[in-house]
Chains A and B, each alone.
Chain A
Amino acid sequence: MMKKTKAILVTVFVVGVLLCLGASPALAAGDKVLRIAMDAADISDIHPHFAHTTQDRAVVHLIFNGLVRYKTGDISRFEPDLAESWEVSADGKVWTFHLRKGVMVHPWKGNPGYELTSEDVVYSFQSAANPAKSGFAGGYVGMSFEAVDRYTVRITLEKPMSETLFLPKVADYMGGLIIPKKPAEELGEGFRTHPVGTGPFIFKKYLPKEKVITVRNEKYFRGVPKLKGVEVFFMSDLSSRKFGLRSKELDVIEGPPSQPWVEEMQALPGVKVDVFGPGEAGVLYFNVTKKPFDDIRVRRAIAYSISRDEVATTIGKAIAAPIYSQIPPPQTGFLTRAEAKLRGQQEGKDLLYDLDRNKAKKLLAEAGFPQGFTTKFYMTERGEYAIPMQNVVAQLRESGIDAKMITVDHATYHHNIRADMNTIVLYNCWRASADMKLTHFYHSDSIVVTGKKPITNFIHLGKVDVDGDGKVDSIDYLIEAAREMLDAQGQRALWQEAQYKLLDWCVSYPLFIKRFTYARQKYVDWGYDLKSTLILSPQINELTSISK
């Protein structure tokens, strides 16, 4: 009996070991599929007109194109994508795009694919402009789309728009990603988990909570991609991603904005760390409808209590840097420290608000708070917000300001700040243009809860007096004038003017720009110089290769 039991146990053990050994080659080196792990439990939506999270964008960017595209690895320039050329009328209202010929739509569910034409492009923009079919519809209001011929698309605007503002709307980002008509109509709701585009990689499979599998598009118009495919994994645990990279089960992993992590990864043999832009600008917004933030002296006291350098160092020297304007560098319209300083000197003001606790305490005393004051606000548990904010809170305490953080989960935080529940809001983001940033955060239409189109004007700027002169203060007229200005220099000047006012009123306090961190195996070659990318993760395209 005992012998029999032993024999069974030994057999089970041997079979188990053989099964495991048999499975090992599945992970063997030699294939050219790139495996990238994102900090997420799953996709949210991989329909390009809804995709707004980093993991969603990492997937859709493999599959879709725009009429134009941000230069790969450097968002400061545009270059042709599906359109090989374009022209604009003298009044800046009519934009005409000439499509590349021979661009093939990916095959899908038994359909062989077909040549992309102006009909698809018009369908895509009409869909992007429809609030029921797009999360980015607001960006396409006042536009009409027309197929002039098979390869020509005309976009007519109600109001003129400069190239700086218009091209992002037709670029390979958000609503500018072109969805072909036939698969979009045929798949309907299914398109959200089975996207079909024209990009370098073809969607193959979505394994919920695990990964999206794509394979190379042999008919890609820029040439056959060097990779056989790309697999995007969803792994919310940082340790797992790190171990996956170290065991070479993963080729690229998303990292946290953390200096120790960057240093740890850099020390690993065979691993390279990419720190790239454009980054997310961290700005403090003061709700001027809530006391004592209605008093400009209190807001300035807060600004003088904070050392931006210290906050940036807390995040990490390799990752974050101080900023001095609401539009962060390198976006058109940002202010350098020297520009803000010079303007302040010209007007006899201080627009930099460098750390000066004596001045802060004096301002607080003038405002009637010689012993400081206490305030409470909600804060997300996510490290990229909580870590810098903890530093800010510690610095404020030095001036007698007791800012108490109520930590909640990220979805609750976003809900609460939009419900006008916070006195101070820290918001980290990048917006596609200066107009979008200023409109979302400072235009009166965007005031949370009560605005015509409530978005993220947490300050309530445009509806209240913020400088104590008894008049309502607003930069709406500057935003709107810049929006319609075709001259690039004039437009930039208006955006800067708006920011000088914001700095003077101290309704928000620009803190830092925080760049993105990814670690990769050294055998992964992006195929381009990675400086900045709007999808906030490295772009993987036809040039990307694995050389192992």
Chain B
Amino acid sequence: MIAYTIRRILIAIPTLIIVLTITFVLVRIAPGDPAEVRLGDYATKESVEALRKEMGLDKPMWIQYLETLEGLFQGDFGRSMLNGRPISEEIKRSLPYTLELTLMGIIFGAIFGIPTGVYTALKRNTLSDYVGRTLSLAGLSFPTFYLGILLMFAFSIKIPIFPVVGGGDIHNLADNLYHLVLPGLTLGLIMTAYVTRMARSSVLNTLNEDYVRTARAKGLTERKVIYKHLLRNALLAITALIGVYAIVLIGGSVMVEIVFSRPGLGKMMIGALKQRDYTTLQAVMIIFASLVVFVNLITDLTYGLIDPRVRYK
């Protein structure tokens, strides 16, 4: 398993380099210039040129690219072109907000989605099933930002129990969780829709398996059949798909961070994009890509824990 993990990490390196290369080229061929953006309307041509030189933008693009690669291999993301702060510091501050939000979305999704999916599968073609399926379909079609705004309106304005501004103090667990509830629920409800549908489908597939029929035939209670035989097998597919949708959630977190003004990677990315902060944008894209690779790896490794038949080669 260790060899497999190392191999997967090594395979990820070219993927990350491709992501960096695409981002590096795209941001530089897009119109706009970080020096112009930073200095504004009043800047003289000399000021802009001086700043471009300071930022290293006067060098040929391939030299800039090699310097960026060299920095990355040394674990250095460089400095923000906008405010000169080390990007690694900004990522260190922003990443936890994005991770906790995504995690909270997955947890909410699993808590609400798996029972609902199993229940609707077991009650197939009944009113409960139709309601569950309709709600999950509605959840899939709901834009994340709109759901966030609705939840804000409901639980911050009409029933004022949760805050809407910021991510709270990351060093204060209570404050942090308090600020995480609504954004987490926003992502979680979307995730619930995904999980419900795949849990239902997975359970329905498993219901027709021979071992379920055998378990029933030997007189086990329905509860035992479901918990011991059916769910454990259905969970394999559910886990795999939760991993896939976790990647979707990482993307969805961008809008949620904007709506709830959370200082996470999404807000960092949008800010960098608008201000043409090339170095920050490159770094954030690398982090997002790394997260996707990491989640994929974790999902694959989790198979083995759930299904002992899985072997890593």
Residue from B31, B177, B259 having most chain A Cβ neighbours under 10 A: B31
Please name all residues of chain A whose beta carbon is closer than 8 Å to the beta carbon of B32 when the two chains form the complex: 409, 411-412, 414-415
A residues 27-72 touching B (CB-CB < 8 Å): 27, 37, 41-45, 50, 52-53
User: Would A23 and B177 be within 8 Å (CB), given that A193-B85, A236-B258, A244-B165 are in contact?
Assistant: yes
User: Would A233 and B166 be within 8 Å (CB), given that A135-B43, A243-B157, A415-B33 are in contact?
Assistant: yes
Q: Could you tell me the distance in whole angstroms from the C-beta of B51 to the nearest C-beta in chain A?
A: 8
Instruction: Tell yes or no: B64 within 8 A of A by CB.
Output: no
Query: Which of A294-302, A344-352, A452-460 participates in binding chain B?
Result: A452-460
> Which of B44, B168, B270 sits near A23, CB closer than 8 Å?
B168
Determine if B50 and A132 form an interchain contact, defined as CB atoms under 8 angstroms apart: yes
B residues 27-55 touching A (CB-CB < 8 Å): 30-33, 36-47, 50, 54
Query: Which of B199-207, B209-217, B261-269, B290-298 participates in binding chain A?
Result: B261-269
Determine if A19 and B174 form an interchain contact, defined as CB atoms under 8 angstroms apart: yes
> CA of A137 to CA of B42 in the docked complex: distance in angstroms?
8
Query: Which of B7-15, B17-25, B271-279 participates in binding chain A?
Result: B271-279
Interface size for A (C-beta < 8 A) is 63
Q: Could you tell me the distance in whole angstroms from the C-beta of A470 to the nearest C-beta in chain B?
A: 31
Please name all residues of chain B whose beta carbon is closer than 8 Å to the beta carbon of A208 when the two chains form the complex: 85, 90, 93-94, 263, 268
Please name all residues of chain B whose beta carbon is closer than 8 Å to the beta carbon of A235 when the two chains form the complex: 165, 261
Instruction: Tell yes or no: B142 within 8 A of A by CB.
Output: no
User: Would A247 and B178 be within 8 Å (CB), given that A19-B173, A454-B45 are in contact?
Assistant: no
> CA of A137 to CA of B94 in the docked complex: distance in angstroms?
34
Instruction: Tell yes or no: A8 within 8 A of B by CB.
Output: no
Please name all residues of chain A whose beta carbon is closer than 8 Å to the beta carbon of B162 when the two chains form the complex: 20
> Which of B39, B157, B160, B267 sits near A50, CB closer than 8 Å?
B39
Determine if A192 and B258 form an interchain contact, defined as CB atoms under 8 angstroms apart: no
> CA of A244 to CA of B166 in the docked complex: distance in angstroms?
10
> CA of A19 to CA of B178 in the docked complex: distance in angstroms?
7
Please name all residues of chain B whose beta carbon is closer than 8 Å to the beta carbon of A453 when the two chains form the complex: 44-45
Determine if A44 and B165 form an interchain contact, defined as CB atoms under 8 angstroms apart: no
> Which of B37, B149, B153, B165 sits near A411, CB closer than 8 Å?
B37
Instruction: Tell yes or no: A111 within 8 A of B by CB.
Output: no
> Which of B42, B54, B166, B258 sits near A135, CB closer than 8 Å?
B42
Determine if A139 and B42 form an interchain contact, defined as CB atoms under 8 angstroms apart: yes
Instruction: Tell yes or no: B233 within 8 A of A by CB.
Output: no
> CA of A211 to CA of B168 in the docked complex: distance in angstroms?
11
Please name all residues of chain B whose beta carbon is closer than 8 Å to the beta carbon of A23 when the two chains form the complex: 168, 172, 174-175, 177-178
User: Would A52 and B83 be within 8 Å (CB), given that A23-B174, A209-B263, A210-B166 are in contact?
Assistant: no
- B245-266 to A contact mask, C-beta < 8 Å, 1/0: 0000000000000111101100
Please name all residues of chain B whose beta carbon is closer than 8 Å to the beta carbon of A53 when the two chains form the complex: 40
Instruction: Tell yes or no: A496 within 8 A of B by CB.
Output: no
Please name all residues of chain A whose beta carbon is closer than 8 Å to the beta carbon of B37 when the two chains form the complex: 44, 411, 414
> CA of A268 to CA of B119 in the docked complex: distance in angstroms?
44
Residue from A42, A189, A233, A440 having most chain B Cβ neighbours under 10 A: A42
Instruction: Tell yes or no: B16 within 8 A of A by CB.
Output: no
- A119-151 to B contact mask, C-beta < 8 Å, 1/0: 000000000000110111111000000000000
- A277-295 to B contact mask, C-beta < 8 Å, 1/0: 0000000000000000000
Instruction: Tell yes or no: A249 within 8 A of B by CB.
Output: yes
Determine if B31 and A52 form an interchain contact, defined as CB atoms under 8 angstroms apart: no
Q: Could you tell me the distance in whole angstroms from the C-beta of B257 to the nearest C-beta in chain A?
A: 9
Please name all residues of chain B whose beta carbon is closer than 8 Å to the beta carbon of A115 when the two chains form the complex: none
Instruction: Tell yes or no: B156 within 8 A of A by CB.
Output: yes
Instruction: Tell yes or no: B82 within 8 A of A by CB.
Output: yes
Q: Could you tell me the distance in whole angstroms from the C-beta of A414 to the nearest C-beta in chain B?
A: 7
Determine if B30 and A412 form an interchain contact, defined as CB atoms under 8 angstroms apart: yes
A residues 396-417 touching B (CB-CB < 8 Å): 408-412, 414-416
Please name all residues of chain A whose beta carbon is closer than 8 Å to the beta carbon of B219 when the two chains form the complex: none
> CA of A210 to CA of B165 in the docked complex: distance in angstroms?
9
Please name all residues of chain A whose beta carbon is closer than 8 Å to the beta carbon of B264 when the two chains form the complex: 209
Residue from A16, A22, A131 having most chain B Cβ neighbours under 10 A: A131
Q: Could you tell me the distance in whole angstroms from the C-beta of A212 to the nearest C-beta in chain B?
A: 12
> CA of A239 to CA of B41 in the docked complex: distance in angstroms?
29
Determine if B164 and A240 form an interchain contact, defined as CB atoms under 8 angstroms apart: yes
Instruction: Tell yes or no: B163 within 8 A of A by CB.
Output: yes
Determine if B31 and A411 form an interchain contact, defined as CB atoms under 8 angstroms apart: yes
User: Would A135 and B40 be within 8 Å (CB), given that A209-B267, A235-B261 are in contact?
Assistant: yes
> CA of A53 to CA of B268 in the docked complex: distance in angstroms?
18
Determine if A135 and B164 form an interchain contact, defined as CB atoms under 8 angstroms apart: no
Please name all residues of chain A whose beta carbon is closer than 8 Å to the beta carbon of B275 when the two chains form the complex: 44, 411
Please name all residues of chain B whose beta carbon is closer than 8 Å to the beta carbon of A37 when the two chains form the complex: 165, 261
User: Would A247 and B160 be within 8 Å (CB), given that A193-B83, A193-B85 are in contact?
Assistant: yes
User: Would A209 and B268 be within 8 Å (CB), given that A23-B168, A240-B152, A246-B157 are in contact?
Assistant: yes
B residues 108-162 touching A (CB-CB < 8 Å): 149, 152-153, 156-157, 160-162
The chain B residue sitting closest to A236, CB to CB, is B258
Determine if A16 and B94 form an interchain contact, defined as CB atoms under 8 angstroms apart: no
Determine if A20 and B174 form an interchain contact, defined as CB atoms under 8 angstroms apart: yes
A residues 340-386 touching B (CB-CB < 8 Å): none
Q: Could you tell me the distance in whole angstroms from the C-beta of A193 to the nearest C-beta in chain B?
A: 6
Instruction: Tell yes or no: A275 within 8 A of B by CB.
Output: no
Please name all residues of chain A whose beta carbon is closer than 8 Å to the beta carbon of B274 when the two chains form the complex: 41, 409-411
Please name all residues of chain B whose beta carbon is closer than 8 Å to the beta carbon of A456 when the two chains form the complex: 41
Instruction: Tell yes or no: A429 within 8 A of B by CB.
Output: yes
Determine if A416 and B168 form an interchain contact, defined as CB atoms under 8 angstroms apart: no
A residues 209-237 touching B (CB-CB < 8 Å): 209-211, 233-237
Please name all residues of chain B whose beta carbon is closer than 8 Å to the beta carbon of A493 when the two chains form the complex: none
> Which of B31, B160, B175 sits near A415, CB closer than 8 Å?
B31
Determine if B42 and A174 form an interchain contact, defined as CB atoms under 8 angstroms apart: yes
A residues 426-451 touching B (CB-CB < 8 Å): 429, 440
Please name 12 pairs of A and B residues whose Cβ atoms are closer than 8 Å in the assembled complex, sorted by A: A37-B165, A42-B82, A44-B82, A44-B83, A192-B83, A192-B84, A243-B156, A246-B156, A247-B164, A411-B37, A411-B276, A415-B32
A-B residue pairs, 7 tightest by C-beta: A52-B40, A41-B271, A23-B178, A411-B32, A209-B263, A210-B263, A135-B39
Beyond A41-B267, A42-B82: 18 further Cβ-contacts under 8 Å?
A19-B177, A23-B175, A41-B271, A41-B274, A52-B39, A52-B41, A131-B44, A192-B83, A208-B85, A209-B94, A210-B263, A243-B164, A244-B165, A246-B157, A249-B165, A408-B31, A412-B31, A415-B32
Interface residues of B (CB under 8 A from A): 30-33, 36-47, 50, 54, 82-85, 90, 93-94, 149, 152-153, 156-157, 160-168, 172-175, 177-178, 181, 258-261, 263-264, 267-268, 270-271, 274-276
Interface residues of A (CB under 8 A from B): 16, 19-20, 22-24, 26-27, 37, 41-45, 50, 52-53, 131-132, 134-139, 174, 189, 192-193, 207-211, 233-237, 239-240, 243-244, 246-247, 249-250, 408-412, 414-416, 418-419, 429, 440, 453-456
